[in-house]
């Protein structure tokens, strides 16, 4: 794509968004009980390190054009939502990085009775960059494109007023566009929850995980854990979980390793949510045929400053080592964003994201800053 055509698409996208924002009406499209919400946005960002490298990084200004379509249906016993979007990134100086990404998110909830509940989710993405701090941590390359699909099915049954049982299944697919080995994992699990009193819930869980690389080998995990959820107030609760991972690794070795998870969640009110979590464990990943020994801390804060302004803060720290290969990694990520509702159906967002990866693998060491400004419109 030449520079003139690129600028033409950018101008058209900005013109379209401004035209849409000037429209005062809000159309609620309905078809046979399904609410349909089209969206469009124009986003500008500056990326200090497009190539995710330590030395001689490439910086650029990026225009992102997005169109999306959302579907939502709600009934007395079930709800269904489906959100899709397509994004095109246009680089001002390095057009070889121009790319198109696609995303799909599905959520289905079903109450079969007062005691039986089913939840199904599916998240698909095709992107040229890691989509989150969690995605970037543990990777063995800087910039990488992926096809990723995470599907889950969870069934909850109340045996009585105190005791409940859960069954779950998950399938994760990670397909790299750079011809690296792709991975598929399947997880089958079950768990029990016992409500001791109004403030304390006891939990126990078992998960069997099978991960296979194509081409490559396979590994299995048996995860056994137990813990407690303690409500400190009506809005503040603490989850503490400990257990063990029994891993039959890709090289045939057997490992029995501890796991720990601690999280504190505070739903202060309808306008404020905060949370912090810590996890320490050995596990397999979709990036390489090895076991990853890591700990990570993540925290978030969401605050409705006014009826039209929302502030969001996210922080992530991770430290990990692959057991069989000499790869050690320390990852830091932080993001702050402010969103302002321009009208009932349009929103302006300003954000800055910082990430830094210190790795013994030089190809995965970088520092990156992204400043972002975008306008999103719901038809």
Percent of the chain at pLDDT exceeding 70? 90
Taking only the tens place, the pLDDT of each residue in 245-254 is 999 999 889 9
pLDDT band, residue 270 (cuts 50/70/90): low
pLDDT of residue 266: 87
Tell me: pLDDT of 306 over 80.
Answer: yes
The predicted pLDDT at position 21 comes to 41
Mean pLDDT on 284-290: 90
User: Is the pLDDT at 20 greater than 60, yes or no?
Assistant: no
pLDDT at 272: 77
pLDDT of the residue at 361: 81
Give pLDDT tens digits for 294-304. 999 999 999 88
Question: Is the pLDDT confidence value at 7 over 60?
Answer: no
* Listed residue (30, 65, 8) closest to 375, CA to CA: 65
For residue 15, pLDDT over 50 is answered with no
133-150 CB burial, b ≥16 within 10 A, e <16: bebbbbbbebbbebebbb
Report which of 362, 286, 292 is spatially closest to residue 324, judged by C-alpha positions: 292
Instruction: Summarize the confidence of residues 347-371 as an average pLDDT.
Output: 92
Checking if the pLDDT of 25 tops 60, the result is: no
Q: Which of 301, 299, 302 is nearest to 276 (CA)?
A: 299
Among candidate residues 224, 223, 197, 196, the one with its CA nearest the CA of residue 209 = 223
> Can you list the domains of the chain with their CATH numbers?
3-378 (2.40.160)
| Lookup result for tokens 């099915």 | 153
What's the pLDDT at 370? 96
Span 173-221, pLDDT tens digits? 999 877 677 999 999 999 999 999 999 999 999 999 999 999 899 999 9
Q: Using one digit for the tens of pLDDT, what is the confidence trace for 80-94?
A: 999 999 999 999 999
pLDDT at 269: 66
* Token digits of residue 265: 């969640």
Tokens standing for residue 315 = 């922080």
> For the ranges 67-76, 95-104, 335-344, 355-364, which has the lowest average pLDDT?
355-364
Please check the confidence at residue 23 and state whether its pLDDT lies above 70. Answer: no
- Residue closest to 64 by CA, chosen among 9, 15, 133: 9
The model's confidence at residue 139, banded by pLDDT at 50, 70 and 90, is confident
Cα–Cα distance list, 25 to 22, 33, 245, 378 (Å):
9, 21, 55, 11
**Alpha carbons 130 and 143: distance in angstroms, whole number:** 8
| pTM for this model (two decimals) | 0.86
Q: What is the mean pLDDT of the chain?
A: 89
């Amino acid at each position: 794509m030449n520079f003139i055509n690129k600028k033409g698409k950018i101008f058209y996208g900005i013109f379209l968004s401004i035209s849409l924002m000037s429209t005062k009406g809000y159309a609620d499209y309905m078809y046979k009980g399904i609410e349909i919400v089209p969206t469009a946005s124009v986003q500008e960002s500056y990326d200090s390190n497009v190539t995710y490298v330590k030395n001689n990084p490439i910086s650029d200004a990026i225009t992102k054009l997005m169109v999306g379509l959302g579907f939502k249906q709600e009934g007395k016993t079930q709800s269904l939502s489906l959100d899709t979007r397509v994004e095109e990134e246009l680089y001002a100086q390095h057009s070889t990085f121009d790319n198109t990404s696609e995303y799909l998110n599905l959520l289905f909830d079903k109450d079969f009775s007062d005691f039986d509940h089913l939840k199904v989710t599916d998240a698909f993405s095709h992107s040229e960059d890691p989509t989150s701090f969690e995605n970037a941590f543990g990777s063995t390359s800087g910039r990488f494109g992926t096809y990723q699909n995470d599907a889950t099915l969870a069934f909850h049954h109340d045996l009585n007023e105190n005791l409940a049982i859960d069954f779950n299944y998950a399938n994760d697919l990670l397909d790299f566009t750079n011809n690296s080995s792709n991975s598929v994992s399947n997880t089958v699990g079950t768990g029990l929850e016992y409500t001791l009193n109004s403030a304390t819930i006891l939990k126990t869980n078992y998960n069997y995980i099978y991960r296979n690389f194509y081409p490559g080998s396979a590994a299995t995990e048996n995860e056994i854990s137990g813990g407690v959820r303690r409500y400190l107030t009506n809005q503040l609760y603490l989850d503490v979980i400990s257990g063990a991972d029994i891993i039959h690794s890709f090289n045939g070795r057997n490992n029995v390793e501890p796991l720990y998870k601690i999280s504190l969640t505070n739903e202060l009110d309808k306008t404020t949510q905060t949370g912090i979590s810590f996890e320490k464990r050995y596990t397999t990943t979709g990036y390489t045929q090895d076991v990853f020994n890591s700990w990570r801390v993540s925290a978030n804060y969401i605050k409705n400053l006014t009826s039209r302004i929302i502030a969001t803060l996210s922080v992530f720290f991770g430290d990990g080592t692959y057991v069989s290969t000499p790869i050690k990694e320390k990852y830091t990520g932080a993001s702050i964003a402010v969103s302002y509702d321009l009208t009932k159906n349009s929103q302006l967002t300003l954000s800055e994201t910082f990430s830094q990866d210190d790795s013994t693998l030089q190809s995965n060491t970088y520092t990156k800053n992204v400043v972002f400004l975008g306008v999103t419109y719901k038809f």
